[in-house]
Amino acid sequence: MSRQLKLGAFLMVTGHHVAAWRHPDVPANAGLDFAHYKQLARVAEAAKFDALFVADSIAAGTGEVASQMARSDHFEPLTLLSALSAVTEHIGLIATATTSYNEPYHVARKFASLDHLSGGRAGWNLVTSDNAAEALNFGRDEHLGHAERYSRAREFHQVVTGLWDSWDDDAFVRDKASGRYYEPSKRHVLDHVGEHFQVKGPLNVARSPQGQPVIVQAGSSETGRELAAQTAEVVFTAQTSLADAQAFYSDLKARLGQYGREADSLKIMPGVFVVVGQTEALAQAKLEAFQALVEPEVGVALLGRMLGNFDLSGYPLDGPLPELPLTDSGQRSRQQLLSELAQREQLTLAQLGRRIAGGRGHYSVIGTPVQIADELQRWFEEGAADGFNILVPHLPGGLEDFARWVIPELQRRGLFRNEYTGTTLRENLGLARPVSRYKAARS
């Protein structure tokens, strides 16, 4: 079988478009409606998506603008995906959990538990917090700096994966006759002592169906890329042009060798904001219906947030994007992308805010199913992507549109599966099951 692309369905409450909740077709209370998510999961699974992906933040906005966005009331991802594991059978379940304000033992345990609950469908989107407000919920007056966040993330990953290897796959013999429940020689005490963490182990969850849940990342700074090259198995990324995506793709793949990794052991899945219509004009009109619902202040505030928690409310809406310092707490790479976009298209602050309200820095494809499939195919075949994280303006409608119109077109082209071929997320993504570090050391 020729190489096929991988697809993730990005589920963000009412959709990726910031004004989606105001649209008449969208259930505004989606964030805490389990029936809504159950429907999304079933649509995505019927369409054979590799995974559902749930982003996260551990703070609620309190500014005036926050009160105009559907971002302050939503399920905690691990509880949500655990519930969805009980009503799905095949689709992967990828949740974000920050390394900045968590304990590695809890994270290791919850994802291992989800992997068992789902029969091997868990993925962990390992992030560092880029939202300064989160710090205030965890006893800190100030956000951790970029370098410290990444240093902590790297060690956090070591501890979590170490805990996941606490038990050999065959450690739990459960021999009723002898009374031997587990084989002590197959249990490994981590005894980690590092700069940020001291964690003894072992984990109180057996090695999980996938060996280890799939490691997902989304950092695109220099440090982020290096961490991904060393540790990630899937990378989500925001790229605004084919050329940029190709450069990112080849850069990241080229970094794998120094860690003894094959190019295929890391799947790069750019986010693509997709609006489907039966004609291009209809697709544009569909997008316009959402854009018209964006209050200028909301778009600009979102822009400030994306650029690194800048308050842009003092700048004229019809002026240009102001020069902003490259702060340590922000996401440098994203800031660079957006500045270039604004300059290239000569956008005012309000226009840029409205522009990013849909795709928010991701590549956008607005068109017919054939046009969308063309673009995805081009990126896939021209060295820019192993697959895509599909962002739709509104939910469930945007996902239903994609499943109904774009998936069959991709399948017709042989670019996407007709049936799940694996039983685990790893198998569907074409990722090898990790060998335990203790087995590897012995052999």
Closest distance to a second copy from the beta carbon of 42 (Å): 12
Closest distance to a second copy from the beta carbon of 363 (Å): 28
Residue 191: CB atoms within 10 Å: 11
The DSSP symbol for 46 reads: H
Query: Do residues 125 and 216 lie in contact, with contact meaning Cβ atoms separated by under 8 Å?
Result: yes
**Binders of a second copy among 227-286, rule CB under 8 A?**
none
| Options 104-112, 270-278, 359-367, 401-409: segment touching a second copy (CB under 8 A) | 104-112
126 three-class SS: strand
Closest distance to a second copy from the beta carbon of 419 (Å): 24
Nearer to a second copy, 46 or 136 (CB): 136
Nearer to a second copy, 3 or 180 (CB): 180
Query: Do residues 271 and 282 lie in contact, with contact meaning Cβ atoms separated by under 8 Å?
Result: no
As a whole number of angstroms, the distance between CA 429 and CA 281 comes to: 35
As a whole number of angstroms, the distance between CA 36 and CA 42 comes to: 10
Of positions 130, 295, 375, 386, contacts a second copy by CB under 8 A: 295
169 three-class SS: coil
Closest distance to a second copy from the beta carbon of 109 (Å): 5
Closest distance to a second copy from the beta carbon of 64 (Å): 7
Per-position DSSP letters for 132-162, written without gaps between them: HHHHTTTT-SSPPPHHHHHHHHHHHHHHHHH
**Binders of a second copy among 206-235, rule CB under 8 A?**
206
Of positions 82, 220, 223, 240, contacts a second copy by CB under 8 A: 82
Site size toward a second copy (CB under 8 A) is 81
Closest distance to a second copy from the beta carbon of 422 (Å): 19
As a whole number of angstroms, the distance between CA 314 and CA 101 comes to: 31
Phi–psi pair at 390, nearest 5 degrees:
-85, 120
As a whole number of angstroms, the distance between CA 110 and CA 420 comes to: 26
As a whole number of angstroms, the distance between CA 177 and CA 192 comes to: 35
Closest distance to a second copy from the beta carbon of 193 (Å): 10
Packing angle between helix 242-255 and helix 369-381, nearest 10 degrees? 40
Nearer to a second copy, 296 or 422 (CB): 296
Per-position DSSP letters for 367-410, written without gaps between them: E-HHHHHHHHHHHHHTTS-SEEEEE-SSTTHHHHHIIIIIHHHH
Of positions 2, 176, 442, 443, contacts a second copy by CB under 8 A: 176
234 three-class SS: strand
Does 110 bind a second copy (CB under 8 A)? Our answer is yes
Nearer to a second copy, 163 or 385 (CB): 163
Closest distance to a second copy from the beta carbon of 164 (Å): 13
Of positions 1, 2, 142, 179, contacts a second copy by CB under 8 A: 179
Of positions 89, 145, 170, 181, contacts a second copy by CB under 8 A: 181
Of positions 4, 158, 166, 428, contacts a second copy by CB under 8 A: 166
**Binders of a second copy among 9-28, rule CB under 8 A?**
19, 21-24, 28
| Options 108-116, 254-262, 336-344, 379-387: segment touching a second copy (CB under 8 A) | 108-116
How far does CA 147 lie from the centroid of its chain? 21
**Binders of a second copy among 22-81, rule CB under 8 A?**
22-24, 28-29, 31-32, 34, 38, 57-60, 62, 64, 67-76, 78-80
As a whole number of angstroms, the distance between CA 314 and CA 386 comes to: 41
Q: Which amino acid is residue 2, in one-letter code?
A: S
Cis check for the bond before 396: say yes or no (omega within 30 of 0): yes
**Binders of a second copy among 314-333, rule CB under 8 A?**
none
Using CB under 8 A as the criterion, what x/- string covers residues 114-153 for binding a second copy? x-xx---------------x--xxxxxx------------
